A = this chain, B = another copy of it.
Amino acid sequence: MHNKEIEEYVKKYNTELKDIVIPFWETRCVDKEFGGFFTYLDRDGSVYDTDKYMWMQWRVVYMFSTLYVSFAKNENWLKIAKDGFEFLTKHGKAADGSYYFALNRQGKPILAPFNIFSEAFVVMGAAVLYKATKEEKYKKEAMSAMSHYISRIANPKRQWEKGMPDKPKRLSHGHYMILANLGSVMKDSLGVTEYDAKVREAIDLVVDKFWNEEKKVLFENINADHSFDLASCDGRQINPGHGLESMWFVLSYADQNHVPELIPKACKIVKALLEFGWDKEKGGIFYFMDVLGKPHVELQWDMKLWWVHNEAILACLNAYRLTKDEYFWNWFVKLDKYAFEHFKDQKYGEWYAYLNRAGEPTHMLKGGRWKTFFHLPRCLLFSLKQFEMIKAQTH
């Protein structure tokens, strides 16, 4: 089924990745003078700021090394990743081994190591570099960043924590999702199995406890006793893109680790998030929502973001491959159409990041403080893998 269509999608995704997205970044993102990457790229690729935010930097390392490992043995991609690693490990680490949040162009720290997710992206970048090269220093860095990440989970913001003891203790979907993802990366790239139990625990918590059976949607924040708080904005917060990203991790985990009972659970959540998150009036998936439809504190809640649609595409392809349920294929077709029609810049290549509710770009940027060479190429590459696997099933 769909084999002819899949051939067309393979062609489309392959061209988009190889001829458009990779060259856009490969030719522009390397700071040849100081090292590290330019991520603030305007519509035509020109640089509009030179700060180096750690999440964005390490994601470039991760993505180019992943492409080297999984797409083509292009030595320039490996060099970009390796050079980035050198710059970031030389300049990016505080005395205690944690990672600053941002550096200036020259590599001097400008924002303190207040955020635990910096370490998460170090783990991902360094681990895949190890997979690509088998050089010990990459493994060592990945292990060190992982142990920093784990040690900080109990107090992730350290001295920069603004919450007081009486602030409700909420469990955050993001922390568990990232933990599960990192554990999988550690296993896949480094052969480290010591996080296996933690990964499984995190996944079970997400699919069983963050899922609200009554409201039929995945929550972002739940109380410490796993109950739901419908009286506060934080408690009612829904992030459809985040949930969809989480679910393709789960589906991929379930498949690779032979845990079939997770598949229907994750697919139910994918379905629920698509139905809940899709804007029936204007199309596209909302950024943030309130489960009861009450006002959202974030001004940009109704905007349509590129990464949300990248993650939704991967969730649908994984769900379709594992269930053969046409429902997910049809959603993939719909999401692909929306994404390519609205986010893709026909003139300069790459995708816009931000659309208003009606689907018109509000920003011309291709990269910035929060968009880098990551979600889009990852979506294109991993979708190609899904297409391959789907085709293999039907032969």
**Residue positions of A touching B, CB distance < 8 A:** 40, 42, 48-51, 100-101, 104, 108-112, 114, 159-164, 166-168, 231-233, 294-297, 299-303, 354, 356-358, 362-365, 368-370
Query: What residues of B have a CB within 8 angstroms of the CB of A370 in the complex?
Result: 297
Query: What residues of B have a CB within 8 angstroms of the CB of A365 in the complex?
Result: 295
Q: Are A295 and B368 in contact (CB under 8 A)?
A: yes
Complex CA distance for A347 and B114, rounded to whole angstroms: 45
Q: Are B297 and A166 in contact (CB under 8 A)?
A: no
Query: What residues of B have a CB within 8 angstroms of the CB of A369 in the complex?
Result: 233, 297
Q: Are B354 and A110 in contact (CB under 8 A)?
A: no
Number of copies: 2
Q: Known contacts A233-B49, A356-B356: does B300 contact A299 (CB below 8 Å)? A: yes
Between-chain CB contacts (< 8 Å), 8 pairs: A40-B295, A50-B231, A114-B162, A233-B369, A295-B365, A297-B370, A299-B354, A356-B356
Q: Are B49 and A163 in contact (CB under 8 A)?
A: no
Query: What residues of B have a CB within 8 angstroms of the CB of A301 in the complex?
Result: 362-363
Q: Are B362 and A112 in contact (CB under 8 A)?
A: no
Closest chain-B Cβ to A350's Cβ sits at a distance in Å of 13
Closest chain-B Cβ to A340's Cβ sits at a distance in Å of 22
Q: Are A362 and B48 in contact (CB under 8 A)?
A: no
Nearest first, the 6 A-B pairs at minimum CB distance are: A295-B365, A108-B166, A299-B300, A110-B167, A48-B294, A109-B164
Q: Are B363 and A296 in contact (CB under 8 A)?
A: yes
Supplied contacts A299-B299, A299-B303, 13 more A-B pairs, CB within 8 Å: A42-B295, A48-B295, A49-B232, A110-B163, A110-B164, A110-B166, A111-B163, A233-B369, A295-B368, A297-B369, A301-B363, A356-B356, A356-B357
Q: Are A233 and B111 in contact (CB under 8 A)?
A: no
Q: Are B159 and A104 in contact (CB under 8 A)?
A: no
The 8 Å CB contact of A112, one of B101, B162, B356, B357, is B162
What residue of chain B has the Cβ atom nearest to residue A290's Cβ? B48
Q: Are A233 and B303 in contact (CB under 8 A)?
A: no
Q: A48, A299, A365, A370: which has the most chain B beta carbons within 10 Å? A: A299
